Structure 1
Amino acid sequence: RGPNDPEFLPLRRLLQAVVLQGKLENLAPNLEGQIVESILDGVPYPATLLQQCIRRIRAEQSVTYARAAILKASLVRLRRMSHHFSSEVTMALDPTNTRPAYLLGRLFAVLERIQEAAQPGINATIRDRFYGAASATPVAVFPQLLKLKNHHIGKLDSPQLVTYFEKLVGQIIEPLGTFPAQLSMQEQAEFALGYYHQRQDFFKPKESAPAAS
């Protein structure tokens, strides 16, 4: 989360993050009540909450703090009830998470950051054009994005920055293997969290990462 984001968000503010124009009148009927029941009963949140959150992210190409919080909370509840998921859902970047969807989200954030470093002040990035497809059908998009990455890398003036980005891309791709044909709704949530975590990590002060202007 950002320095000005509260640790805990009120339910109404979270719900505003998943509806058109942030207007609660656009909220699915009974969703708020179903969420409260889920909290009281300790069961997974309604599938509609996750679906609406993913829908807004894809429509706006934007993973906000509130949306990331919803995705994390939804996945945590689901994993408590299922033995299928074994890894924890962290609050920040998890370099040990090798789940493909999470890695793909991280990779997308890195490719976007490379583009921003190569084209300072750019108005629209790969996120604006490719986020929806990348998060749903990775195999159809990522080969093209990696070719674009090579083009953008070639525009960087700093050898140190080139080395940093190439190493980071390699570290993410190595455990990934092949690109999946499709991602489920839960996997799209993991993709969004991977993207959000990696994106936030870029703006944390660190000694090892050279600055990208």
Structure 2
Amino acid sequence: MPQSLPLFPLQAVLFPGGALSLKVFEARYLDLIGRCLRENSPFGVVCLTQGTEVRLPGQDEGVRFEDLGTLALLRDVDAERPGLLRIRCEGGRRFRFGRASAQTLGLWQAEDIQWLPEDPPLPPGAALQGAADALTRALPAITARDPHWLAGAARPDDAGWVAHRWCELLPISLQARQRLLALDDPLARLQVVHAFLLQQGLISA
């Protein structure tokens, strides 16, 4: 795995196995996507905590983002018109980085990458099965509304996968999503989601 990684700071949290669609028009990111296509390489998505997604003159010093993010793997690129790309990515492995610096055109580069462990495939278990069952029931309507919402096959028997999909769906803050992404234990992540679903009356005890 690489020890340095180009970054795409967004007002969003990408989860492993999740789908991300982006409209790319800034020169720095057009250059990044072109490089990723040529080299068959990924980039990192990190959540913005200060600043905006579109670069403004002299803004680099005011941009802040989380030091924990998710690898983005390009799955589809469509050149809608010159200077505009529509891309779809799939979330890969989580990572932390030690430092980041602004490069040419304002593209951010992370160094000293630490690759975090992937979730082991664990069943939700009887206590958390309600969250998995509720997601299974909701999936047909969700995918009918957005056919690209799932990046791969559904895995309702995988606690980490179920937790990640709920984290994408629930009306929670970016800060809450980031904290859930940072949890290394998939069952602990699903426990938090399960408790929220119970509190909102979306599932029963």
Per the normalisation by structure 2, the TM-score is: 0.31
Q: Which structure has the highest helix share of the two? A: 1
Higher-strand-fraction structure: 2
Query: Higher relative contact order by CA 8 Å / sep ≥ 6: 1 or 2?
Result: 1
What TM-score do you get using the length of structure 1 for normalisation?
A: 0.30
